[in-house]
Structure 1
Amino acid sequence: MPAASSSWQELPSTYVGGIDPAYPDEEPLNDLLLGLGDIDRGRSYLAYCEYRSVAVMYDRLVAARGESDRFVVDGFADAAARIAGLRGVSRDQAEKLLNEAVALRDRLPEVLDCLRDGVIAPWQAKLIVSRTDLLDGQSVTPEIDATIAQLLRSRKGTWPRKRLRDMVDRTIFRLDPDCVRERRREALDERGVWTEARGDGVAEITGLMAAENVRIAAAAVAALADTACEHDKRTKPQRMSDAMFALLSGTSFECQCGRDDCTAQIPEPSTVPPVDAKIVLHVVCDEGTLEGRADNPGFMDGHGVISDEHVRDIAARPDTVVSRLVPKGTEPDADGGFTLPAHGPSDSYRPSTALATHTRIRDGYCVEPGCGQSAFKGDLDHVDEYDHDDPESGGQTTSENLNSKCRPGHLLKTFGEWLDDQYRDPTGRLVTEFTTPEGLTLPGPAETNEDLFPGLRRIRFRAPPAKAPPRSEVPEEDRPTRAGTRVADKHARRRAERSRNRRRNGGPAPF
Structure 2
Amino acid sequence: MTIAMSDEFASRWALVDFGPAGMAAADEAEDAKSQCHSWMVYAEAAWRGQAYLYSRQLFAIGQFLDLELATLDDRVCAGTEQKDLLDPYAVAVDYVAIAFAGTQRAARALVAMAVAASERLPKTADLLRRTVISPEMFEKVVDRTDIIDDHEIVAQVDDDLADTLARAGHISEKAAERIADRIVDKRDADANKKRREKAQRRKNVTNRDYPGGLGGINITADAEESRLAYEAVEVMIAGVCPNDPRTRGALRSAAAIARLRKLPFTCACTDKETCTASQGEEEISERQARIIVRAVCQKSTLAGADDDPGFLDGHGPISASHVRDLAQRPDALVRDLDLDKLLTPRMTLKPCTALAPEPASADRDGDSGGGDGPARHDADEQAAALTARTAFRHVSANASTAQRAEGHVSTAQRAEGHVSMGQRAEGRVSTGQRAEGPVPPVFLTGTAQRSDPYRPTEALDVLVRALFGTCTVPGCNRPAWNCELDHCEEFDHVCPASGGPTCLCNLNPKCKRHHLLKTHLGASNPADGWVDEQWIDDDGTVWTAITVHGMTFETRAANQWLFPQLAGVRCAHQAQAPPEPAPPGPAGADGTGGCRTGGGLRVVTEYKHAWRRALRLRSGTTERARLRRIRERAAEAGGPPPF
Interval containing the TM-score (normalised by the shorter chain): 0.7 to 0.9
Partner of 2:53: 46
Deviations 1:193-250, CA, capped at 9 Å, x for gaps: 2334446544332222211111111112232234333333332222222322222222
CA contact (8 A) 2:205 2:220 kept: yes
Deviations 1:70-102, CA, capped at 9 Å, x for gaps: 9x9644544444444444433322222122222
The one of 489, 493, 505 aligned to 1:384 = 489
CA contact (8 A) 2:486 2:507 kept: yes
Partner of 2:102: 89
Which residue identity does 1:318 align to in structure 2?
Answer: P
CA contact (8 A) 1:54 1:101 kept: yes
The one of 117, 120, 128 aligned to 1:107 = 120
Deviations 1:262-307, CA, capped at 9 Å, x for gaps: 4433345x99959745221011112111222232110001110001
Which residue identity does 2:545 align to in structure 1?
Answer: E
CA contact (8 A) 2:467 2:558 kept: yes
**Identical amino acids, percent of aligned pairs:** 32
Partner of 2:385: none
Deviations 1:310-335, CA, capped at 9 Å, x for gaps: 11111112222323221895434542
Which residue identity does 1:490 align to in structure 2?
Answer: K
Counterparts of residues 319-468 of structure 1 (less than 5 Å): 319-326=331-338, 330=373, 331-332=375-376, 333-335=405-407, 341-415=446-520, 416=522, 417=526, 418-438=530-550, 440=551, 442-457=552-567
Partner of 1:142: 155
Partner of 2:231: 219
Partner of 2:639: none
Q: CA deviation at 1:459?
A: 8.0
Partner of 1:33: 40
CA contact (8 A) 2:539 2:569 kept: no
CA contact (8 A) 1:362 1:456 kept: no
CA contact (8 A) 2:23 2:41 kept: no
Moved more, 26-35 or 188-197: 26-35
Call closer, same or farther: CA 1:297–1:167 in 2, change over 3 Å.
same
Partner of 1:488: 606
Which residue identity does 1:411 align to in structure 2?
Answer: L
Which residue identity does 1:452 align to in structure 2?
Answer: L
Moved more, 139-148 or 444-453: 444-453
Which residue identity does 1:402 align to in structure 2?
Answer: L
Partner of 1:176: 188
CA distance in 2, matches of 1:179, 1:213: 23
Moved more, 190-199 or 180-189: 190-199
CA distance in 2, matches of 1:334, 1:205: 53
CA contact (8 A) 1:17 1:36 kept: no
Q: CA deviation at 1:260?
A: 3.5
SS in structure 2 of the partner of residue 205 of structure 1: strand
Moved more, 248-257 or 124-133: 248-257
CA distance in 1, matches of 2:532, 2:210: 46
CA distance in 1, matches of 2:489, 2:236: 39
Call closer, same or farther: CA 1:11–1:342 in 2, change over 3 Å.
same
CA distance in 1, matches of 2:177, 2:597: 54
CA distance in 2, matches of 1:426, 1:25: 40
Which residue identity does 1:386 align to in structure 2?
Answer: F
CA contact (8 A) 2:37 2:549 kept: no
CA distance in 1, matches of 2:72, 2:23: 46
CA distance in 2, matches of 1:315, 1:362: 20
SS in structure 2 of the partner of residue 343 of structure 1: coil
CA contact (8 A) 1:338 1:458 kept: no
Q: CA deviation at 1:157?
A: 2.2
Moved more, 258-267 or 17-26: 17-26
CA distance in 2, matches of 1:422, 1:137: 40
Q: CA deviation at 1:420?
A: 1.9
Moved more, 5-14 or 218-227: 218-227
SS in structure 2 of the partner of residue 420 of structure 1: strand
Q: CA deviation at 1:413?
A: 2.7
Moved more, 61-70 or 132-141: 61-70
Which residue identity does 1:54 align to in structure 2?
Answer: I
Which residue identity does 1:120 align to in structure 2?
Answer: I
Call closer, same or farther: CA 1:258–1:60 in 2, change over 3 Å.
farther
CA distance in 2, matches of 1:271, 1:421: 41
Counterparts of residues 112-261 of structure 1 (less than 5 Å): 112-153=125-166, 155=167, 157-198=169-210, 201-261=213-273
Moved more, 138-147 or 426-435: 426-435
Call closer, same or farther: CA 1:42–1:73 in 2, change over 3 Å.
same
TM-score (normalizing by structure 1): 0.83
Call closer, same or farther: CA 1:334–1:291 in 2, change over 3 Å.
closer
CA distance in 2, matches of 1:44, 1:405: 29
Q: CA deviation at 1:488?
A: 2.2
SS in structure 1 of the partner of residue 147 of structure 2: helix
Q: CA deviation at 1:427?
A: 3.5
Q: CA deviation at 1:16?
A: 7.0
SS in structure 2 of the partner of residue 46 of structure 1: helix
Consecutive unaligned residues of structure 1, counting only runs of 5 or more, are none
CA distance in 2, matches of 1:437, 1:312: 46
Call closer, same or farther: CA 1:21–1:273 in 2, change over 3 Å.
closer
TM-score (normalizing by structure 2): 0.68
SS in structure 2 of the partner of residue 207 of structure 1: strand
Partner of 2:2: 2
Q: CA deviation at 1:38?
A: 2.7
Q: Please report the RMSD computed on the Cα atoms of aligned residues, expressed in angstroms.
A: 3.8
Deviations 1:341-364, CA, capped at 9 Å, x for gaps: 322222222211222222111121
CA contact (8 A) 2:302 2:324 kept: yes
Which residue identity does 1:170 align to in structure 2?
Answer: R
CA distance in 2, matches of 1:77, 1:404: 49
Call closer, same or farther: CA 1:224–1:150 in 2, change over 3 Å.
same
CA contact (8 A) 1:144 1:175 kept: yes
Call closer, same or farther: CA 1:209–1:22 in 2, change over 3 Å.
closer
By relative contact order (CA 8 Å, sep 6+), the higher-ranking structure is 2
Q: CA deviation at 1:63?
A: 7.6
Partner of 1:497: 615
Partner of 2:383: none
CA contact (8 A) 2:51 2:135 kept: yes
CA distance in 1, matches of 2:162, 2:111: 22
Deviations 1:47-80, CA, capped at 9 Å, x for gaps: 112212333444466685589999x964454444
CA distance in 1, matches of 2:20, 2:572: 50
